């Protein structure tokens, strides 16, 4: 007995000595919006998520020294690219994470490639990150416009909402969302009756909503984000559009937006996300711990993506005992992903992280059991159907292989 425990102790000592030899230090930069429109979906919460990933992974015990820094890109590509440059050039940052706002994400994507570092995006929507602009250095974790279109667009048509009218925010992101959703609607046998380009950012959507109403379409697709979405949903309720039977489809709505609208206004809204705190025991367990550290606010899917992405990165560091970009990226793409928040999945050659997406409907106030009880699950969209097929993204990395 004694001998056995002695042997075990020796083995542990040997192992930890080995680990100590392979001491790796990695520096993670969480770059996101800490003061603007997306501060609630990413912001400090993403930093907390990153810290929790390092702790849950027990990085220290495994001989990986994780340092986390953060900064505010203010949703401006110039600010974001400046910080990214400085982090890579001067401060020895190895990985940049999160980066909501497509314009900033695309800028950081470019710089990361130039400097040959790693970029794990969770916050941005642009499917270009794994499409024409894909790089060997980027992983796009949580969601993209194609997933949103497939989720909300596809499901609505299947549920009988086969005629659509779009309220499209008049800028590149709005146009992309409309284009992707239109493709899905048409593919599923639906019809788009028309669309109207609304000035961005807008306050008053009533006249556009009336045009949507006049079109007699069954579904009004909101190809906009943030304040525009909130305003248009609020005013649709006011003009009795939802009561008259037309359905609203929010193409980019986060749980924080639903909080801002209140269930009374948002009820019945259909939306797609790839994570919700109340999905299963594992997500609930994580979310409770997270909320305790984040002023009681539950994690959003973007914050969950930061947690899961960093966990996977650390696993690759542990497995390869290195932080060489090419080695790690190869390992991350080769090794299947498995984490408590998104379950099992893979990272494709174009950098797309594959996992299921979920179609939710916002609960009625009477159905909600608590402050954060916002959604009911309508259906689960398997990863292969949720994301764009590998060969349709025009990613140069795919053509080569």
Q: Which residues bind another protein (CB under 8 A)?
A: 34-41, 43, 70-72, 76-79, 81-83, 85-86, 89-90, 102-103, 106-107, 110, 170-173, 175, 196-204, 206-208, 210-211, 213-214, 226-227, 230-231, 234-235, 238-240, 244, 254, 256-257, 259-262, 264-265
The answer to whether 32 touches 100, Cβ cutoff 8 Å, is yes
Does 201 sit behind a cis peptide bond, omega within 30 degrees of 0 on the bond before it? yes
Residue 114, number of CB atoms within 10 A of its CB? 13
120/33 Cα distance (integer angstroms) = 16
Report, in Å, the least distance between residue 1 CB and another protein. Answer: 55
Strands 353-354 and 343-347: antiparallel
Report, in Å, the least distance between residue 243 CB and another protein. Answer: 10
Contacts of 137 (CB under 8 A, 6+ apart): 109, 112, 113, 116, 117, 118, 119, 325, 329
Q: Which is nearer to another protein, 336 or 365 (CB)?
A: 365
Q: Which is nearer to another protein, 265 or 274 (CB)?
A: 265
**Alpha-helical segments (H) within 220-324:** 226-238, 255-261, 263-266, 281-293, 301-320
289/62 Cα distance (integer angstroms) = 23
Q: Which is nearer to another protein, 156 or 176 (CB)?
A: 176
Report, in Å, the least distance between residue 279 CB and another protein. Answer: 22
Report, in Å, the least distance between residue 133 CB and another protein. Answer: 9
Report, in Å, the least distance between residue 247 CB and another protein. Answer: 17
Report, in Å, the least distance between residue 275 CB and another protein. Answer: 18
Q: Which is nearer to another protein, 99 or 316 (CB)?
A: 99
Report, in Å, the least distance between residue 257 CB and another protein. Answer: 6
Q: What is the DSSP letter of 193?
A: E
Q: How many CA atoms lie within 13 A of 201 on its CB side?
A: 9
Q: Which is nearer to another protein, 203 or 392 (CB)?
A: 203
Report, in Å, the least distance between residue 347 CB and another protein. Answer: 24
Token pair for residue 167? 């309220």
φ, ψ dihedrals at 358, nearest 5°: -130, 140
The answer to whether 183 touches 165, Cβ cutoff 8 Å, is no
CA dihedral of 171, 209, 260, 75, whole degrees rounded to 10: 10
The answer to whether 240 touches 246, Cβ cutoff 8 Å, is no
Q: Which is nearer to another protein, 227 or 340 (CB)?
A: 227
Q: Find tokens 């009374």 and name the residue.
A: 264
Report, in Å, the least distance between residue 109 CB and another protein. Answer: 9
The answer to whether 98 touches 30, Cβ cutoff 8 Å, is yes
Q: Which is nearer to another protein, 81 or 137 (CB)?
A: 81
φ, ψ dihedrals at 25, nearest 5°: -110, 125
Q: Which is nearer to another protein, 122 or 337 (CB)?
A: 122
Q: Which is nearer to another protein, 65 or 203 (CB)?
A: 203
């Amino acid at each position: 007995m004694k001998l056995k425990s002695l042997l075990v102790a020796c083995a542990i000592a040997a192992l930890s000595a080995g680990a100590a030899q392979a001491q790796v230090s990695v520096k993670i930069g969480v770059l996101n919006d800490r003061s603007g429109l997306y501060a609630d979906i990413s912001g400090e919460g993403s930093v907390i998520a990153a810290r929790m990933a390092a702790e849950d992974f027990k990085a220290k015990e495994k001989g990986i020294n994780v340092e986390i820094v953060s900064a505010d890109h203010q949703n401006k590509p110039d600010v974001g690219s400046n910080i990214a440059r400085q982090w890579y050039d001067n401060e020895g940052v190895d990985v940049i994470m999160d980066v909501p706002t497509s314009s900033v994400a695309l800028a950081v994507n470019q710089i990361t490639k130039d400097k040959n570092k790693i970029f794990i995006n969770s916050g941005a929507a642009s499917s270009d990150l794994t499409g024409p602009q894909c790089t060997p250095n980027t992983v796009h974790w949580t969601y993209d416009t194609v997933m949103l279109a497939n989720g909300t667009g596809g499901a609505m048509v299947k549920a009988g909402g086969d005629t659509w009218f779009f309220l499209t925010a008049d800028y590149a992101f709005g146009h992309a969302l409309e284009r992707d959703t239109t493709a899905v609607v048409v593919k599923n046998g639906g019809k788009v009756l028309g669309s109207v380009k609304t000035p961005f950012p807008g306050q008053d959507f009533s006249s556009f909503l009336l045009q949507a109403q006049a079109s007699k379409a069954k579904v009004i697709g909101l190809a906009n984000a943030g304040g525009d979405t909130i305003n248009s949903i609020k005013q649709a309720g006011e003009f009795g559009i939802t009561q008259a039977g037309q359905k609203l489809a929010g193409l980019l709505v986060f749980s924080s937006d639903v909080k801002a609208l209140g269930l009374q206004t948002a009820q019945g809204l259909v939306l797609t996300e790839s994570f919700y705190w109340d999905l299963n025991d594992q997500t609930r367990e994580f979310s409770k711990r997270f909320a305790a550290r984040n002023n009681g606010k539950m994690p959003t899917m973007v914050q969950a993506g930061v947690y899961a992405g960093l966990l996977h990165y650390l696993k690759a560091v542990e497995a390869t005992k290195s932080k060489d970009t090419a080695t790690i990226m190869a390992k991350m793409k080769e090794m299947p992903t498995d984490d408590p928040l998104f379950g099992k999945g893979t990272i494709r050659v174009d950098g797309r992280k594959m996992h299921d997406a979920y179609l939710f409907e916002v609960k009625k106030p009477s159905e909600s059991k608590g402050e954060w009880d916002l959604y009911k699950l309508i259906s689960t969209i398997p990863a292969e159907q949720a994301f764009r097929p590998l060969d349709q993204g025009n990613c140069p990395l795919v053509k080569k292989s």
